[in-house]
Amino acid sequence: DAKTTQPNSMESNEEEPVHLPCNHSTISGTDYIHWYRQLPSQGPEYVIHGLTSNVNNRMASLAIAEDRKSSTLILHRATLRDAAVYYCILKRETSGSRLTFGEGTQLTVNP
């Protein structure tokens, strides 16, 4: 599976936007970019996914670079409930849709 690289941790203030980066320079043409987040002692929660175009949903926005070698998860207004580990994952059909998790980014939101 193609590898992703994320910063270990990031901090944000409540009510401010947060941009979580992810590098995936070895991404292939059929890899979808998925983002999940995990709160303490819970299973991961789906956030958003995309292929080439930027995506928006009620939780976040996903900005994908034109060469697809990087992407950014955008939380428009961080809340304390957004404090979690955020995982950027490439999902490939040939791997049977299994997900390989990296270390993720621990997001801390300050009140």
Instruction: Please identify which residue in 25, 56, 101, 110 interacts with another protein, judged by CB under 8 A.
Output: 101
Nearer to another protein, 58 or 111 (CB): 58
Cβ neighbours of residue 66 closer than 8 Å, sequence gap 6 or more: none
Residue 8 interacting with another protein (CB under 8 A)? no
| Phi-psi map region of 15: left, alpha, beta (phi>0 left; psi -120 to 50 alpha) | left
Cβ neighbours of residue 81 closer than 8 Å, sequence gap 6 or more: none
Instruction: Please identify which residue in 49, 59, 72, 74 interacts with another protein, judged by CB under 8 A.
Output: 49
- Decide: 99 and 89 in contact? Cβ < 8 Å: yes
Residue 53 interacting with another protein (CB under 8 A)? no
Query: Looking at 10-18, 65-73, 76-84, 86-94, which segment touches another protein (CB under 8 A)?
Result: 86-94
Instruction: Please identify which residue in 9, 15, 46, 77 interacts with another protein, judged by CB under 8 A.
Output: 46
Q: How far apart are CA 50 and CA 63, in angstroms?
A: 9
Please tell me the total number of residues recorded for the chain in this structure: 111
What is the contact surface with another protein in residues (CB under 8 A)? Answer: 30-32, 34, 36, 38, 41-46, 49, 51, 87, 91-93, 96-104
